[in-house]
């Protein structure tokens, strides 16, 4: 049976490393069902803390309705992000903040997981410099959200030194070995 992969893409640069990795993943996973949520194209509205979700149990904004559906039903989530100022670029950060709807649901319903299906996730980053601290930080940001999203972060990959001499092929092969060998 085909697995559903959701790639949450955090780079708007068409010929950048993240776009290249995204293309390689789509190619390697073509026997599966791969959905790419391009945060720069979709431009999700930022969470403005309106508290509508606390009262109504759903987000006041409708622009991520389709995203939430796939996010809840998929098998694997791949966060594909450049490092911008030590963290996620703002469109991808908006996605993380928009998980607030699940957070309020978790606490409103006596700490019951708002998403029934257990899913696995991977974080892939690209950094101009060594990117180690930033990737650790981004990982901790995801793990913070994942406790209430029923997601396990299974692996992290870093394509470092993209400004100078990245080991692009080495990283991509490692990613493919871990994610595409089913």
Ligand X SMILES: Cc1cc2nc3c(=O)[nH]c(=O)nc-3n(C[C@H](O)[C@H](O)[C@H](O)COP(=O)(O)O)c2cc1C
| 42's tokens | 């979709």
| First-residue to last-residue Cα distance in the chain | 11
3 state DSSP class of 33: strand
Which one of residues 6, 29, 92, 127 is an interface residue with ligand X (CB under 6 A)?
Answer: 127
Report in angstroms how near the CB of residue 43 gets to ligand X at its nearest. 17
Tell me the C-alpha distance between 22 and 20, whole Å.
Answer: 5
124 and 81 Cβ atoms separated by less than 8 Å: yes
Which one of residues 2, 3, 65, 86 is an interface residue with ligand X (CB under 6 A)?
Answer: 86
Total chain residues near ligand X (CB under 6 A): 19
Tell me the C-alpha distance between 141 and 128, whole Å.
Answer: 20
Mark 10-49 with x for binding to ligand X (rule: CB under 6 A) and - for no binding.
-x-x--xxxx------------------------------
Decide: is 88 part of the binding site for ligand X (CB under 6 A).
no
Which one of residues 84, 137, 146, 168 is an interface residue with ligand X (CB under 6 A)?
Answer: 84
Report in angstroms how near the CB of residue 113 gets to ligand X at its nearest. 33
Decide: is 67 part of the binding site for ligand X (CB under 6 A).
no
Which one of residues 134, 142, 172, 179 is an interface residue with ligand X (CB under 6 A)?
Answer: 134
168-179 helix and 17-28 helix, angle to the nearest 10 degrees: 40
Decide: is 162 part of the binding site for ligand X (CB under 6 A).
yes
Which one of residues 53, 83, 101, 149 is an interface residue with ligand X (CB under 6 A)?
Answer: 83
22: closest CA among 149, 124, 140, 139?
A: 124
Alpha-carbon distances, residue 65 vs 61, 133, 181 (angstroms): 8, 33, 31
Decide: is 124 part of the binding site for ligand X (CB under 6 A).
no
Strand partners, 81: 125
Residues that bind ligand X (CB under 6 A): 11, 13, 16-19, 82-86, 126-129, 131, 134, 162-163
């Amino acid at each position: 049976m085909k697995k559903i992969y959701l790639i949450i893409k955090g780079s708007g640069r068409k010929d950048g490393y993240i776009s290249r990795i995204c293309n390689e993943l789509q190619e390697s996973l073509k026997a599966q069902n791969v959905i790419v949520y391009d945060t720069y194209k979709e431009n999700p509205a930022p969470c403005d803390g309106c508290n509508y979700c606390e009262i109504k149990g759903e987000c006041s904004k409708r622009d991520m309705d389709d995203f939430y559906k796939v996010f809840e039903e998929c098998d694997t989530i791949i966060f594909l992000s450049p490092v911008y100022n030590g963290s996620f670029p703002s469109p991808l950060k908006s996605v993380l903040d928009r998980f607030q709807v699940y957070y309020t649901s978790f606490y409103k319903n006596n700490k019951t997981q708002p998403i029934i299906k257990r899913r696995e996730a991977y974080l892939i980053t690209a950094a101009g410099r060594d990117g180690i601290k930033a990737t650790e930080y981004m990982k901790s940001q995801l793990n913070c959200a994942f406790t209430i999203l029923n997601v396990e972060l299974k692996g992290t990959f870093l394509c470092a030194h993209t400004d100078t001499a990245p080991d692009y092929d080495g990283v991509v092969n490692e990613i493919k070995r871990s994610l595409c060998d089913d």
